[in-house]
Amino acid sequence: MQASPVAVRDLTPCAAQPLKRIRLSMPELTTRRLAPLFLLLTCFLPACAERRVEIQVFPSEYQVGRVRSDIATPAVDEVLRLKPAVVVIQACRSVPPIRTIQLQTELSARTQARLQLQLISENCPS
């Protein structure tokens, strides 16, 4: 089955040469129009998704990914390295409030990321 012509374009590469006519079939036309759009989406779509980092706050340490520390500064440094849009602070209910406040104060001073707090009771050391 032969594809039906959809569009006819005149190409004039040089004034001395006669006009050439080409016929584009529907699959060629669709591919030519959608390829740049697909390329743009694959390049910019990941930038639209919010990058999110979770910090676990335990009574004796902070944890961000593989980084574990007794003080907040190394955890905040790791957050800054990851450059998130949202930082979720997951604190055990048994954590003294001053530890969470210290982390929140340091994050607010060093990043523009949106901060969220979650109080958790499972997976917390007693």
66 CA to centre of own chain: 20
Which residues does 52 contact at the CB level (< 8 Å), separation at least 6?
84, 85, 86, 87, 88
Chain segment 100-119, per-residue pLDDT in tens = 999 999 999 999 999 999 99
Q: Could you tell me what percent of the chain has a pLDDT over 90?
A: 55
What count of other Cβ atoms lies within 10 Å of the Cβ of residue 117? 13
Chain segment 57-92, per-residue pLDDT in tens = 999 999 999 999 999 999 999 999 999 999 999 999
